[in-house]
């Protein structure tokens, strides 16, 4: 039994599975190129994260919910689009793990050549991280990047593009 | 499993998302959009790195070079492949690794494309000899 199989075995025999467990399973499946299974696991993790945010469940340092009983309700298969739609209605959430799951989901969509879905998820993720970092910090980081971008265009002689930055 | 939630950790995540957006646009054939995201990503990775050198930067530069190649901007592709190659060599054992071979392979294709569209065989031969030096001795 290789390490991936051992990890799957350990996770599946746990009494309760957390969002982090499902994310780990997703990563294992993704490594094994089992993309449909990976997507299912990541979506499962995402749903747990969303439920936690709805119920304001707190996470410990390692990303495990502090109120496990709240977190283990039966998860029915939710259509992925419905889940992603739910994401778009949420605002100002501050869960790092939520965006990490969206990042993984985007990477699976990319591997499945569902590029429009991947784009949508990556952009949600980007906005989430920016929001999470706080305006000042991120604007400093991105401001630097955009300055560099403007400088690049200027150096390339594309002044019209440079003005946008 | 999760990264520590720190400013630099999240910034690194942002740089990763920007790179992946570049990959995604490149796969969709939207090469100009991909270029913008690759450049933002590499600039952010550079800022996060200690000395402007990292495997993430090398990978992003490689993808940017590939993107320029498919856009037919061979000089730009050559430039970024060379930058990526230099970084890959830093992270390889004695200058040889799969990444180094991969970049050299793609750089070779760029020189072939440049030859096909070049009106100067002399220039191409000069570039080719530089490529051979780069491949064999790591200098150009």
Whether the Cβ atoms of residue B103 and residue B84 lie closer than 8 Å to each other: yes
Looking at the fold, whether A112 and A141 belong to one and the same domain comes out as no
Secondary structure class of B29 (helix, strand, coil): coil
Find how far residue B4's CA is from the centre of its chain.
28
Residues near B128 by Cβ (< 8 Å), separated by ≥ 6?
A: B111, B115
Distance between CA atoms of A110 and A107, rounded to whole angstroms?
Answer: 5
Which of B1, B17, B36 comes nearest A103 by C-beta?
B17
Q: What is the pLDDT of residues A32-76, one digit of tens each?
A: 999 999 998 888 888 887 776 665 554 544 555 544 433 333 343
A vs B, Cβ pairs < 8 A, gives 84
Spans in chain A with pLDDT lower than 50: 58, 60-61, 66-77, 143-153, 155-156, 158-165
Residues A122 and A140 in one domain: no
Residue given tokens 């992270």 in the structure block: B91
Pair A68, A138 in one domain: no
Packing angle between helix B74-90 and helix B121-137, nearest 10 degrees?
A: 10
**Domains (range + CATH), chain B:** 7-137 (1.25.40.10)
Same domain, A150 and A90: no
- A120 and A138, same domain (yes or no): no
Whether B112 has its CB under 8 Å from any CB of chain A: the answer is no
A25 and A89 share one domain: yes
Per residue in B43-93, pLDDT (tens digit) is 989 988 888 889 999 999 999 999 999 999 999 999 999 999 999 988 887
- Using a pLDDT cut of 70, give the percent of chain B over it: 79
Q: How confident is the model at residue B112 (pLDDT cuts 50, 70, 90)?
A: confident
Q: What is the spatial distance between Cα B15 and Cα A2, in angstroms, rounded to a whole number?
A: 32
Between vectors from CA A121 to CA A115 and to CA A125, what angle results, nearest 5°?
140
**Which of A24, A96, A110 is opposite residue B20, by nearest beta carbon?**
A110
Contacts of B20 in chain A (CB under 8 A): 103, 106-107, 110, 118, 122
Tokens of A122: 């990556």
Asked if A111 and A123 count as a contact pair (C-beta separation under 8 A), the reply is no
Whether A128 and A138 share a structural domain: no
The domain tally of chain A equals: 2
Shared domain for A123 and A138, answered yes or no, is no
- Residue identified by tokens 């993309």 is A35
Q: Do residue A62 and residue A43 come from a single domain?
A: yes
The verdict on A25 and A51 lying in the same domain is yes
In the block, which residue shows the tokens 């957006």?
B21
| Chain centre to alpha carbon of residue A90 | 14
- At which residue do the structure tokens 């930058």 appear? B83
> What DSSP designation does B93 have?
B
Contacts of B17 in chain A (CB under 8 A): 103, 106, 122, 125-126, 129
Buried b (16+ CB within 10 A) or exposed e, A48-66: bbbbbeeeebebeeebebe
- pLDDT digits 0-9 by tens, B6-55: 566 678 888 999 999 999 999 999 999 999 999 999 998 998 888 888 99
Domain residues for A147? Answer: 134-165
Which of A59, A145, A151, A165 is the best mutation test for B, with the most CBs of B within 10 A? A145
The verdict on A15 and A95 lying in the same domain is yes
A70 lies in the same domain as A128: yes
């Amino acid at each position: 039994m290789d390490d991936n199989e051992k990890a799957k075995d350990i996770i599946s025999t746990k009494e309760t599975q957390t969002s982090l467990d499902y994310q780990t399973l997703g990563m294992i499946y993704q490594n094994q190129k089992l993309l449909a299974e990976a997507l299912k696991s990541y979506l499962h993790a995402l749903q747990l994260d969303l439920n936690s945010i709805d119920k304001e469940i707190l996470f410990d340092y390692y990303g495990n919910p502090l109120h496990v009983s709240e977190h283990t309700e039966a998860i029915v298969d939710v259509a992925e689009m419905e889940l992603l739609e739910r994401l778009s209605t949420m605002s100002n959430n501050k869960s790092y793990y939520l965006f990490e799951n969206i990042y993984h989901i985007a990477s699976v969509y990319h591997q499945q050549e569902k590029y429009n879905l991947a784009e949508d998820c990556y952009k949600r993720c980007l906005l989430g991280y920016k929001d999470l970092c706080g305006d000042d910090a991120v604007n400093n980081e991105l401001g630097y990047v955009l300055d560099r971008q403007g400088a690049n265009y200027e150096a390339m002689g594309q002044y019209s593009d440079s003005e946008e930055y | 499993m999760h990264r520590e939630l720190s400013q630099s950790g999240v910034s690194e995540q942002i740089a990763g998302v920007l790179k992946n957006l570049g990959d995604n646009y490149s796969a969709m054939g939207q090469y100009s959009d991909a270029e913008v995201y690759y450049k933002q990503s590499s600039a952010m990775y550079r800022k996060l790195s200690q000395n402007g050198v990292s495997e993430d930067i090398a990978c992003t530069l490689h993808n940017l070079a590939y993107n320029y190649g498919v856009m037919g901007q061979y000089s730009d592709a050559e430039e970024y492949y060379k930058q990526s190659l230099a970084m890959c060599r830093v992270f390889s054992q004695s200058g040889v690794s799969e990444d180094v071979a991969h970049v050299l392979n793609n750089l070779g294709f760029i020189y072939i494309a440049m030859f096909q569209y070049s009106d100067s065989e002399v220039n191409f031969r000069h570039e080719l000899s530089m490529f051979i030096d780069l491949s064999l001795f790591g200098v150009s």
